[in-house]
Amino acid sequence: MTDDLIHRSRSVLAGYVPAPAPGDAAREAAVLVLVYHLAGRETVLLTRRTDTVDTHKGQISFPGGGRHGVDEDLSVTALRETYEEVGVNPADIELIGRLDEIITISSFRVAPFVGVLKRAPYDFVPSPHEVAEVLEVPVRHLLDPANKVMEPRVNWSGGPAHSPAYWYEGHRIWGATARMLEGFLHMLHPR
């Protein structure tokens, strides 16, 4: 495998100015889109949340969460949350950019950061309270149209809309995570 995805990510994100999310959200949050090479494949890290967390029980998500008062900025939030949720040391991550913000249905303004895991395989240490399963999803799988559907939804004004969802080994990746994932993949592989 080549460094295509990581090289392309660095190149595209180097000059990219992320768009702020429209509207107001009460709480700031950040997630980390962590990409790396694993067994000859470009891979992205996702987690399945436990059924005991306060919000988004059992959903597939990027590592991340709400900004704490001690977080210097949202990149620190993304790195801290990734460490807390899956045990990746921030020193093992190279942040290479930021994607457009989104507002979640739970009223978070989420800043997605993109990072490269410097070594893989990695000995992830999932938080038993927050993470039921670590998913290492091949990017090629996500780019295959057979694994993506557009699901009917209701938009913020109450009108009809469609939102992406991806399927991976029986897991449905939907909602804010799927929207951020679609934005990242489209940025690198426009169609």
CA atoms within 13 A on the CB side of 170: 2
Q: For strand 148-154 and strand 60-61, is the pairing parallel, antiparallel, or unpaired?
A: unpaired
Rounded Cα distance between 64 and 7, Å, is 24
One-letter-per-residue 3-state SS of 18-45: CCCCCCCCCEEEEEEEEEEEECCEEEEE
pLDDT at 157: 64
> Which residue stretches of the chain have pLDDT < 70?
1-3, 25, 53-58, 156-157, 191
Exposed (0-12), middle (13-18) or buried (19+): which is 191, by Cβ within 10 Å?
A: exposed
pLDDT at 154: 74
pLDDT at 58: 65
Q: For strand 27-38 and strand 108-117, is the pairing parallel, antiparallel, or unpaired?
A: parallel
pLDDT at 191: 61
What is the per-residue pLDDT across 121-134, written as a single tens digit (0 to 9) for each? Answer: 999 999 999 999 99
Domains in the chain with CATH codes: 4-140 (3.90.79.10)
User: The pTM is what?
Assistant: 0.92
pLDDT at 2: 42
pLDDT at 16: 94
